[in-house]
Every structure is written in C-alpha cells, then in structure tokens.
C-alpha cells in the first residue's frame, strides 16, 4: 500500500463524533477522526513499514501521524528521527502516545528521553517522562538503574508543581507507574506521591482538575496490580 491508498482508507474510517473529541483534546485540521481500534485491520495488512510511516507522519494529518506510529519500525529510527517527529508533535496525543510509545521500543529510549526531560520544552519533557512510563510498564525491573529512577522521583517531588501543564500530567503518571510497575521503588514512589499531594492541572476552556498519584497507587495495590507489566506497548 502507498501513502495515497492509506490516506483514502483512513478517510473512509473517519467519524465526525471522534473528530470532535480529538479536536477538543488539542488536535487540529487536517484530521479524519479515526478511532484507534479501527486502524488495526490496515496495520495488519502493512505490518512494519518505516518509509511509509515517514510519509504518513509528514502529512501533518493527525490520524495519519497516529497510524505512522503503529506501523513504524522503531529500531530503524535514529535519535535525529525521533527529534524530527517531536518537532511535528504539536499536542500531547502525538508527543506522549505516538512518539514516546515508538521511542520506548528502542535501545536508545532512556538516553533520548533523558535529553527531552532536560530540554525545558513542555511537550518534549512530557514525552520524556511518558516514555519512562511506557518502559517501566513493559520491561523487566532489572533493565533499570534503581538509583536513577530514585533520583527521578526526587526530581518530580522538587519540580512537578512548577512544571508546564502537560509535563505535570506525565510526571504524575511517572510517580504512579513507578509505584505500581517498578516494585523495587514502590514504597519510595508512594511516599513521594504523598509528599507531592494533589497536583493541579489547568485545561483550556474547562476548570482545573487535581491529579492524585498516591490515591491511585493505593487503589492499584488494593486490586492486586502491584508489579503489573504490559505485554505490548504499541497497539
């Protein structure tokens, strides 16, 4: 399949209701409004195809960019490729659920995510923290430096309340993920989340909301989810 054929298939799957939901979350035109589950049959036909993924991502169409993440070959991508994708990721559903997810399936994931976290740019920071969430929720605990993750928890404790809005979401999710999926630091993550307390995030056009990682960690433990790992990161 070529890029035109994929775009035609995606357009046919678009729904106005889904499009409105994406727009309300920060997407902008062009987009068709395709539910992610509806993309799976096309993805099965194509499997991994990095050149096609690059062409689709370059269209700037949100649905095509999302689909590009599904068929991308992460191991074929360099740090420069991920930086280029981040440059085009204009809102969190691209930065955290396309670029960060794809990055998490590579050997350079931590190295690149560390640079993004240190960048000072809202969506790069958000993608960096999110990448660690995808990693910790999927890979064995032994693949991580306990000291490094502990230092990252300390960084969250010091800086989360003064961080940009989308970065706050990702940092809050990091505390939760360490608390649930990275057993060696469960206690420290819970303690950090309790110290941090509720995190206020402001959303466009709606009231601010409060995130509470400590409560959510405790709920997960009550449901016997401690040590949870996803089998797959990408759909």
- Each residue of 212-231: pLDDT tens digit? 999 999 999 999 999 999 98
- Each residue of 60-104: pLDDT tens digit? 999 999 999 999 999 999 999 999 999 999 999 999 999 999 999
Listed in order, strand segments (DSSP E) in the chain are 199-203, 206-211
Identify the band that residue 31 occupies on the pLDDT scale cut at 50, 70 and 90. very high
Predicted structure pTM score: 0.95
Predicted local distance difference test score (pLDDT) of residue 208: 86
Tell me how far apart the alpha carbons of residues 53 and 32 are, in angstroms, rounded to a whole number: 17
Tell me how far apart the alpha carbons of residues 225 and 76 are, in angstroms, rounded to a whole number: 34
Check: CB of residue 158 under 8 Å from CB of residue 118: no
Q: What DSSP state is assigned to residue 198?
A: -
Parallel, antiparallel, or unpaired: how do β-strands 206-211 and 199-203 relate?
antiparallel
pLDDT at 233 over 90: no
- Residue in this structure with the two tokens 């206690």, named with its chain if needed: 187
pLDDT at 52 over 80: yes
SS3 40: helix
Check: CB of residue 112 under 8 Å from CB of residue 103: yes
Instruction: Give mean pLDDT, residues 8-24.
Output: 97
- pLDDT mean across residues, the chain: 96
Number of neighbours of residue 81 by Cβ within 10 angstroms:
17
- What are the structural domain ranges in the chain? 111-235
Identify the band that residue 235 occupies on the pLDDT scale cut at 50, 70 and 90. low
- Each residue of 155-210: pLDDT tens digit? 999 999 999 999 999 999 999 999 999 999 999 999 999 999 999 998 666 678 99
Tell me how far apart the alpha carbons of residues 118 and 133 are, in angstroms, rounded to a whole number: 16
- Each residue of 105-135: pLDDT tens digit? 999 999 999 999 999 999 999 999 999 999 9
92 token code pair: 């969190």
Check: CB of residue 62 under 8 Å from CB of residue 30: yes
């Amino acid at each position: 399949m070529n890029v035109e054929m994929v775009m035609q298939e995606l357009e046919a799957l678009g729904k106005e209701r889904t499009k409105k939901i994406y727009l309300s979350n920060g997407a902008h035109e062009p987009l068709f409004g395709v539910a992610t589950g509806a993309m799976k049959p096309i993805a099965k036909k194509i499997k991994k195809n990095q050149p096609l993924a690059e062409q689709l991502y370059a269209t700037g169409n949100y649905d095509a960019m999302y689909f590009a993440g599904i068929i991308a070959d992460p191991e074929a991508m360099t740090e420069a490729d991920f930086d280029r994708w981040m440059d085009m990721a204009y809102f969190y559903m691209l930065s955290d659920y396309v670029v960060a997810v794809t990055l998490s399936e590579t050997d350079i994931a931590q190295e690149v995510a560390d640079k993004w976290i240190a960048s000072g740019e809202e969506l790069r920071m958000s993608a960096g923290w999110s990448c660690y969430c995808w990693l910790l929720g999927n890979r064995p605990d032994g693949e991580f430096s306990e000291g490094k993750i502990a230092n990252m928890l300390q960084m969250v404790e010091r800086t989360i309340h003064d961080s940009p809005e989308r970065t706050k979401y990702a940092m809050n999710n990091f505390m939760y993920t360490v608390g649930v999926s990275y057993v060696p630091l469960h206690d420290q993550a819970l303690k950090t989340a309790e110290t941090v307390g509720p995190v206020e995030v402001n959303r466009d056009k709606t009231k601010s909301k409060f995130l509470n990682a400590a409560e959510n960690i405790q709920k997960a433990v009550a449901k016997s989810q401690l040590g949870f790992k996803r089998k797959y990161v990408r759909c």
